[in-house]
Amino acid sequence: MGETIRFGVSMDSELVRLLDQLTHQKNHDNRSQTIRELVRDAVINESSVDDDRLVIGTLTLLYHHKTRLPRSPIDAYPSLTITANLQFHVEGDIVAKVLIVKGKGNEIRAWAQSLLTSPRTIAHLTYTATDELIAELSKE
């Protein structure tokens, strides 16, 4: 990353209350830690969709077990690797499927599109980390 810079932020008192609540829920030491996480998440999710940076993403699907999910082969996306595929029944006939994928942000988004828009399915794609953040975690 870079050097730490201190700056002031003006915010509505209700937002500050919600920020403090979130800080407590996430067991962060202070507001700054929470704000850093929120900004990092926003930057990853906004900038990773249309670029060539490597990212790790999680695709979560909820659907009735009789729902046919569209086939979404990864052959057309050379950078894409499915690193985990977890499926379980949440409740009765409702299935949860979680796919962890690694690849270029634009390829993950293109690959996941048919699953994200599949009828009778609740789906969400989240980018968790970029190759830069993974490199930062690797430092001692």
pLDDT, one tens digit for every residue, the chain (140 residues): 578 899 999 999 999 999 999 999 989 999 999 998 888 777 766 655 557 788 899 999 999 999 999 988 899 999 999 999 999 999 999 999 999 999 998 899 899 999 999 999 999 998 887 777 777 778 76
Rg (CA), the chain: 18
**CATH architecture for residues 54-138:** 2-Layer Sandwich (3.30)
DSSP state of 48: S
Between helices 13-25 and 31-47, what is the axis angle to 10°?
A: 90
* The model's pTM: 0.68
**CA neighbor of 113 nearest in space, from 81, 71, 85, 53:** 71
Return the DSSP state at 7: -
- Structure confidence at residue 2 (pLDDT): 74
For residue 42, the model assigns a pLDDT of: 76
Report the C-alpha gap between 136 and 139 in whole angstroms.
Answer: 6
The answer to whether the CB of 125 falls within 8 A of the CB of 108 is: yes
Domain locations in the chain? Answer: 13-47, 54-138
The per-residue pLDDT for 45 is 63
| pLDDT at residue 13 in the model | 94
Q: Coil, helix or strand for 66? A: coil
